[in-house]
Every structure is written in C-alpha cells, then in structure tokens.
Amino acid sequence: MRITRIGGPTALVEWEGWRILTDPTFDPPGRRYDFGFGTNSVKTVGPAVDLADLGDIDLVLLSHHHHADNLDDAGRAALASARTVLTTTAGAASLTRTKPDALADVRGLRAGDSTVVTADGKPPLTVTGTPCRHGAPLTRPIVGPVVGFALSLADSARPGLWMTGDTVLYGALLRAMTGLRPDVALVHMGAVKFPLTGPLAYTMDAADAVELIEAVDPGTVVPVHVEGWSHFSQQEEAAAVVLAASTVRDRVRWATLGEPLEVG
C-alpha cells in the first residue's frame, strides 16, 4: 500500500490497483470558513498535491460532507471525477440532491453497514462503516453525522485499511473497534476546538489516539487531520511528541506531505 498525504484529512491511497482519495480538500490557504453556530476556522496550509495532478480516482471515502476541513469547494470537483463516493447516509442524500448528474455512484453508510465496490481489473472491496462521534455527547444535532471506513479484500481475514474519520474517543467506538487489527490505519487527530465552546474537543488528540490504537491493534498507523487549519488545537509537531513517547511509537509512520509512503 502507498499513501500520499495531501493535507488535513486528505490522502491518496494506492492499494491493489485501487486509487482511493480520502476527505478531499484542495482549496488554497488563507480563507476563513464558517462552521456554524458562530464557529469558524482559517485554512493555513494548501494541498501538497494539486487536484489537476492527482490522476484518476476510483473511490472517495468522505467521512462527512458538511465541514470544509473535510470537503471544501475545490474538493467537491474530485467527487465528480471519482467512480464511487462513499459517505454518510445524510451526505449521500445531500450530494445526490445537489449534483445528481455529476455523481454516478454515491452511497451512504451507517456504522455497521457494508457495501461492495467493484472496478474493472481490480479486486472487489468490501467497505464497512465504522462508528464516529464528532464531539461531546448530545452534540450530534449541531455537528452532524460522521462515518469511518474499514476496507477489506475478499480473501483477507482482516481489513487492509481503516480510516477513523473525524471522531472523539468514546465507549461505543472502543467497543466496536477493539481487535479490528487492520493492516493500516489512517487516524484523524488535531484536537479540534473553537473559542466559542471552550474546552470541548471535536476530534481526538494524540493521547486519545494512543488509547484507540492500543485497542484496535493496527499494523501501521499514519496520522492525518493534524495540520493546516487554525481550529486544530494540537498540530503535527505537538502530536508527534506524544506519539513518539507512547506505547505505539513503533507503529506510527509520519507521511511527509506530498511524498508517497510505502506502508503495510
């Protein structure tokens, strides 16, 4: 498996002939985005790979469609060029309603739902939605639904790839994912916070990620969603210090922005 980290949550995964793009964000830096209810954030780092240079995409894994740090304006162009887009059920309904002609195959998943994705000349992928909670208890009406993805080949006893999606660490996630043992995990961190909501976090910090990694037991961990936005309260340098001192340090591989990393 080859992973090219593009910026924020966005990565290109090349695996068994598949070209998979996660949470497309390709806008240039400098713009301030509204996240609702008086919250906002500035994109501080642009994409390490231009969308025009990305090439063909077979599959987009979109953890949620309603926050610009996971799907920005330029990133939406990537959806139209992909064969298949997987996202939340709410996201699938919204994308289909607003761009019915551009998206040939968009599917919504809830945690526990599975779908099989096929493409000529590539092995079929079974993709299962995994739990996410994008904030404190009872915040879902504000922050909206999010989903993670576990991808498996038909002849594999365990997932080849797990993308956590934007989530905090919570009991249902730990219970569902303990012992999953994917070959590779893309772990979203950043400890998202806003001044308006004080100490409330909307994604994991590195210490939370360590606890989740210990439970899930992946072979390799590639951190994402840990730089490039002003509302990430724990940026890459600080997260790297925590992970380097942790019990999972030997599993963590930092992908340099824009440079392909061979993993798994």
Per-residue pLDDT tens over the stretch 194-246: 998 899 999 999 999 999 999 999 999 999 999 999 999 999 999 999 999 99
| Interior/surface letters 203-221, b for 16+ CB within 10 angstroms, e for the rest | bbbbebbbebbeebbbebb
The DSSP element (H or E) to which 59 belongs, if any, is strand 57-61
Burial class (CB in 10 A: 0-12, 13-18, 19+), 142: middle
Rounded CA-CA distance 205/189 in Å is 5
Burial class (CB in 10 A: 0-12, 13-18, 19+), 230: middle
Residue 101: the pLDDT is 60
Give pTM, 2 decimals.
0.96
- Superfamily holding 2-262: Ribonuclease Z/Hydroxyacylglutathione hydrolase-like (3.60.15.10)
Residue linked to tokens 């940026």: 235
Rounded CA-CA distance 9/128 in Å is 19
Residue 6: the pLDDT is 98
Query: Which ranges constitute the DSSP H helices of the chain?
Result: 73-81, 89-98, 140-143, 171-177, 206-216, 236-244
Q: Classify 208 as helix, strand or coil.
A: helix
Name beta bridge partners: 126. Answer: 116, 152
Mean pLDDT of all residues belonging to the chain = 94
Q: Give domain limits for the chain.
A: 2-262
More confident of the two residues 36 and 9: 9
Name beta bridge partners: 158. Answer: none
Residue 106: band (very low, low, confident or very high) from pLDDT cuts 50, 70, 90: very high
Chain centre distance of CA 97: 23
Phi, psi of 82 (to 5 degrees): -90, 150
